[in-house]
A and B are shown apart, each in its own frame.
Chain A
Amino acid sequence: MRIAIIDTSSTRAAIISDGLRESGLHDLVVIDAGQPMLRQLEQAKADVVLINLENPSRDILEDFFAMSRALARPIAMFVDQSDTESMGAAIDAGVSAYVVDGLSKQRIRPVVDVAVRRFQAFSRLQTELAEARTALADRQSIDRAKAILMKRRGLDEPAAYALLRGHAMRTNRRIVEIAESIVTSDALMGEMP
């Protein structure tokens, strides 16, 4: 069973490929986003095609499959009617699957399940990465605000932090918000004597 993967993110495509290989599925073709998609697909002769939901080529892909009905290997969207939850989970995760006519459900389900888990893992990673970036930015703002307070008010570091923290608690705001306003006002008024 050959599986083709079309994804606007080459990182995610690699993550999905790894997952499928771990499940013992080795006949994989990753479609190169920089080359004409349909020509690669024609050559791939895949039994299953996975594509990310937000891929701008989905309508083109479905048209290609509609034409394939007239050919030897008709491909249609995988809709598991006995278990709409499974397709629903795939759509929720952001992946859709197309399968060659006649392929049994038992063989396709594991492929879709792996893809769903890998899509979810990828989006978790992205969220974590975004959170890590935010945390880093927050840390930097707080450090800069502390430095400003230490210089202007002649405080040591623990006292500067206590001042920030106390003000945040009294005004019911986050420390980073207080820090950002200090950094901003310092940038605007820093030259004042």
Chain B
Amino acid sequence: MSLPLFRIGFMPLVDAALPILAREQGFAADAGIEIDLVRDMTWATVRDRLLYGHSDAAHLIAPLAIATTLGRGRAAVPLCVPFVLGLNGNAITLSTALGDRLGLGDGLADPMALGGRLKTLALQRLAAGRPLRFGVVHRYSSHNYMLRYWLAAVGIVPDREVEISVTSPPFAADALAAGEVDGICVGEPWNSVAVDRGVGRIALVTAQIWRRGVEKVLALQTHTLAERGEDVAALVRALHAAARHFVAPEAVAENAAILARREYLDAPVDTILRAITDRIRLSRGAPPLHVPDFMFQYREAANFPWRSQAAWLYSQMQRWDGLPVLADEAKAAEAVFRPDVYRAALAGSGATLPGASSKLEGAIGDPLAAGSTQGRLLLGNDRFFDGRAFDPDDIAAYLAALPKG
């Protein structure tokens, strides 16, 4: 008898690793399911295949799952997220020329200090009628929100003082090389590809902006969850096993080789290996630098879909779409993340299960023991670089205190 099948849409990015490894390393079969992977080059097409039944689940940018549920730019279709595919793993790469102008050194820049220098230059370029332009992977992406969070916090007004446009990840290095953008905020391996081509320099990683920023998620239509609850639970277990394997030091070389294949990322294996081992080459020819927590795929219950993460994304969506925070909408956005499904799927396994479903985001400095219903949960530094914390129960007050866009 054939196993229940999940066709999973994905983009060629390092953080598509878990569904790929679940298929290739047998974790899906162990969980009693089969995974087929469907690769696309735009998030719009990954989303449309999910909405029109070409795929059953998708590797998706988290804000797009929320935007689709809320009906931004198209008719609303409810999606759900039972599993987070990882935290962070993105970087801000500046064109070599801009990097030189800003005096980037051998290490990663300090977000505040770099922001100050960037502000001066941004205003000069604006006055000269050639505003700086940054590329992000999608309007509804954490990349867009992280970049804007940083810019606004250092006193640069996005859209007015710098332009922000959309650049597809596999073409980001080309856009830098052609001078279409002065900087990009994209996922790996596309920053490293730009660095190795000598067209860009990595200035910051997004983990420096928010140490535990939610990144890609596994998204499904809610009717799939309702109709195939047991299969979805098996998929969550397969992805969790793949996440544990992903961080095992003895597995990284083989994992990188699998991800590099033509049908998956179709990218140089060395760039992938650097990304998944938190060793980042900042400029061409430089030795890779160890960047702790660059990608965060497993520890500290990283795959648990905290409702407060969805709430933070909703806060930024309203901030940059220029719309008010509505209580009902905030609730609907939070409800896209399904910690209950995650818990039920992994009950009785070795996985750590947080007791709460929501938390203050950005409030932890030193590692803190947190309540759990299974396993021991120790949460590490989750700070935003400006020291602010996000209370999901008071989004309006949080936004009121942030710099105006």
A residues at B contact (CB < 8 Å)? 53-63, 65-66, 69, 76-77, 79, 81, 87-88, 91-92, 96
Contacts and interface: CB of A to CB of B under 8 A. Distances in A.
Contacts of A55: 42
Contact of A56 (B41, B52, B53, B165): B41
Contact of B75 (A81, A88, A91, A92): A81
B275 to A, nearest CB: 22
Contacts of A63: 138-139, 165-166
B49 A59 contact: no
Interface in B151-177: 165-168, 170-171
Interface string B32-57: 00000000111111001100111000
Contact of B137 (A59, A81, A88): A59
A66 B49 CA distance: 20
B53 to A, nearest CB: 7
16 contacts: A56-B168, A56-B171, A57-B168, A59-B42, A62-B73, A63-B165, A65-B73, A66-B139, A76-B73, A77-B73, A81-B75, A91-B48, A91-B52, A92-B52, A92-B54, A96-B44
B45 A54 contact: yes
Contacts, number: 60
A59 B75 contact: no
Contacts of B72: 66
Contact of B54 (A60, A81, A91): A91
Nearest to B144: A63
Given A77-B74, A81-B75, A91-B49, 10 more contacts: A53-B45, A56-B170, A59-B42, A62-B73, A63-B139, A63-B166, A65-B73, A66-B139, A87-B52, A92-B52
Q: What 9 A-B pairs are tightest by C-beta distance, nearest first?
A: A58-B44, A63-B166, A58-B42, A91-B52, A77-B74, A79-B75, A59-B42, A56-B41, A60-B166
B138 A96 contact: no
Nearest to B321: A66
Interface in B125-158: 137-139
A58 B52 CA distance: 17
B166 A59 contact: yes
Nearest to A55: B42
A48 B390 CA distance: 42
Contacts of B52: 87-88, 91-92
Nearest to B51: A91
A57 B42 CA distance: 7
Given A63-B165, A92-B52, A76 B45 contact: no
Contacts of A65: 73
B54 A59 contact: no
B48 A60 contact: no
Contacts of A88: 52-53
Contacts of A92: 52, 54
A54 B41 contact: yes
Contacts of B44: 58-59, 61-62, 96
Nearest to A91: B52
A60 B171 CA distance: 12
